[in-house]
Amino acid sequence: MRRLWIAVIAAACLFASIHSDAQTFAAEQANGIPEARINTGKIIARPQQTLRGWGMSLAWEANDLYGGDRQPAQIKNPKIQSDYMDLLYGDPASRLTLGFTIARYNIAGGDDPSHTHMRPDAQLEGYQSGPAAPFDWNRDVPQRKMLQEAKKRGAAIFEAASYSPPYWMTLSGCSSGSKDARQDNLRPDMQESFVNYLATVVKHFRDAEGIVFESVEPFNEPDGGWRAGGSQEGYAASIATQNAVIPMLANRLKHDGLQTVVAGVDANNISAAISMAGQLNPDAVEALGRFDTHDYHHAVDDLAKLGEYKTLGEKRHTSIWMSELGCCFKNQNEKDAMWGALFMADSIRMDLRDLGAEAWILWQPDWEVIAFDPNGGEPQLKKQYYAIGQYSRFIRPGFQIISAGGAYHTLAAYSQAAKRLVLVTTNDDAPGSNDLDLTAFTGLPRSVQVYRTTADETVNLREEKATLSSNGHLIDPLPAHSITTYVVDGVTPRPDASADVIAGTHPIVAQATGRCMNIVTNATQPGAAIIPYACGAYGNEVFNFVDRGGGFYAIQTVNGLENLCLNISNGTGSPGDGRTRGGPGNLIQWNCGEASLPANELFHLEAIGTDTYRIHVKNSGLCLEEPGGASTIRQNRCNAASPNQVFKLGNT
């Protein structure tokens, strides 16, 4: 949940220069030709998931806001407390607010009253002090108050989550963790008691508080190394315990007449969630009503894993929530405020686009989103507040996430009811531009409303206008370190708007061998070879198809800071040998250009079957081929009978 190894998520960037050999590249770099970044794609109303809402975890924030047993209130004036909640929940059309509609409530276990090692704000009260003790519903006043205040402002979806069982159910006698990190801390004889504890709280809230929890999550970051004596509640749950408790809890909720489902596996990050989900037995998987995961992640942490977890949900016909993310940690103090804002913006884009999340949940606002005034004054809005608002204020519950084509840095969403298209683009270290093709929609206006946040401390959700070109393109310069939202009203998708299923990000799988195109050693440098490799590695097996017109696509890499394009080495028209990495006629990555591309970087996809294609190189007319064995991808003479020239575009 709150580990110290979170690192930068690197957004991909495009180079301006176009080269056909390393010598030219080196010479032009020596001359100081600048980089340029362009975000190009055709916006297509090909629907993905419907967004259910945005929200936050209440947890410690309630103690900070209203004051808890050991934590004095950070805001003592009731009016300013109300103003703070207004900034989080409510209707964005009526005031400045993030427009949250989801609240995630922490059913605290409660620690041994004699312990004083937890942070004052993180020590929440449990409802039951011992095995035979009655439930005390007067406890946890701050969090219950915050829950009701959220509901008053329009929150309509609620999730309950347990960070630890009550201390008296644990082996260590402490709700912050076990004596040995990663040791299961729930006493085996207390599994049924733990289920009873959670189900009783869920039922009470429905009957007495008017809060109907849609879901209850019994294991919050069960992959963590939680230790006794820590600063917060935490519980590392073994797979065996999850396999036992998840079905037991689901059955108990049904027995009690509750519509609440069990959610899981709520691991710290996508990779851990995939691992744990893969170890659950069939009964536990069947008992899950939704897949949750946190998204605390490393470096470029990676589209392949996001897509893998999305696929797990699709196979189970189960929705996915991104149930917790916050930024930034103490070891990231060298990062400026806009760095954190861009981190959050890029994470939102990938969580909604590549993970397929139907809900996105912030951890805590006091993590660089809203700061409490130490003198008790009005809350102070941070850059991350505006970064989240660039999405949450405009992409509202009921919007569908749709395809932004090859515009890798853009999230696209559409509301049929409102006839509104919303596009949100991030841009990192250098000035760039958007070229977003909107011609898949009718009723295009002459200009669109723009909202922009930049590194300039005065530019936060600043309102602007952008004019569409005569051919229906949204062309807009992008400042460095910026997040830009476009609101296009009165538009309707054309009937054939979803016809292009190629544009966007895909793994490329060779049908003859089942191996994926892969950038050798995960390289981010021009000239690196493209090789066949076992599928399921990392983001170096995901490629972005950008429609360049005339039936041709550029195929961009998205695994690093430098966004490059697939390229036939030396621009030769002859077959490659399929052995020499980087050799003439073999496939490499090379610098993309923002204008016309060389013909050895343009590809035509000939449909063979569903999502299956033969890939032709424009300048040679040859076909890409996976030769098999220890090889590199090459171009070769097209052969309709060769399965080595047939590739499937997977889903991320």
Cβ atoms of 529 and 632 within 8 Å: the answer is yes
Q: Residue 267: its pLDDT value, please?
A: 95
Task: List pLDDT tens digits, range 175-230.
Answer: 999 999 889 999 999 999 999 999 999 999 999 999 999 999 999 999 999 999 99
Q: Where in the chain is the domain with CATH 2.80.10.50?
A: 13-35+501-649
In the predicted model, what is the mean pLDDT of residues 545-571?
88
In the predicted model, what is the mean pLDDT of residues 31-44?
65
pLDDT band at 10 (very low <50, low <70, confident <90, very high): very low
DSSP assignment letter at 124: P
DSSP for 519-558?
A: EGGG--STT-BEEEE-SSS-GGG-EEEEE-STT-EEEEE-
Q: Which of 4-13, 93-102, 526-535 has the lowest mean pLDDT?
A: 4-13
Match 């559409």 to its residue by tokens: 414
Residues 418 and 448: their CA atoms lie apart, in Å, by 15
3-state DSSP assignment of residue 517: strand
Residue 482 has pLDDT above 60, yes or no: yes
Residues 397 and 53: their CA atoms lie apart, in Å, by 5
Q: Residue 638: its pLDDT value, please?
A: 97
Closest CA to 510 of 615, 405, 366: 615
Write down the pTM of the prediction: 0.90
Q: Residue 31: its pLDDT value, please?
A: 33
Task: List pLDDT tens digits, range 269-297.
Answer: 999 999 999 999 999 999 999 999 999 98
In the predicted model, what is the mean pLDDT of residues 520-549?
88
Residue 97 has pLDDT above 70, yes or no: yes
Q: Residue 330: its pLDDT value, please?
A: 65
The pLDDT mean for the chain works out to 90
Which residue type does 405 have? G
Q: Where in the chain is the domain with CATH 2.60.40.1180?
A: 410-493
Residues 13 and 25: their CA atoms lie apart, in Å, by 17
Task: List pLDDT tens digits, range 228-264.
Answer: 999 999 999 999 999 999 999 999 999 999 999 999 9
Span 410-493 CATH architecture: Sandwich (2.60)
Q: Residue 32: its pLDDT value, please?
A: 33
CATH superfamily of 53-325: Glycosidases (3.20.20.80)
Cβ atoms of 358 and 319 within 8 Å: the answer is yes
Q: Residue 332: its pLDDT value, please?
A: 58
Q: How many residues does the chain have?
A: 652
Task: List pLDDT tens digits, range 296-354.
Answer: 986 545 677 888 899 899 998 899 999 999 997 666 555 689 999 999 999 999 999 99
pLDDT band at 611 (very low <50, low <70, confident <90, very high): confident
What is the CATH class of 13-35+501-649? mainly beta
In the predicted model, what is the mean pLDDT of residues 63-84?
93
Q: Where in the chain is the domain with CATH 3.20.20.80?
A: 53-325
Task: List pLDDT tens digits, range 379-423.
Answer: 999 999 999 999 999 999 999 999 999 999 999 999 999 999 999
pLDDT above 70 covers a percentage of the chain that reads 91
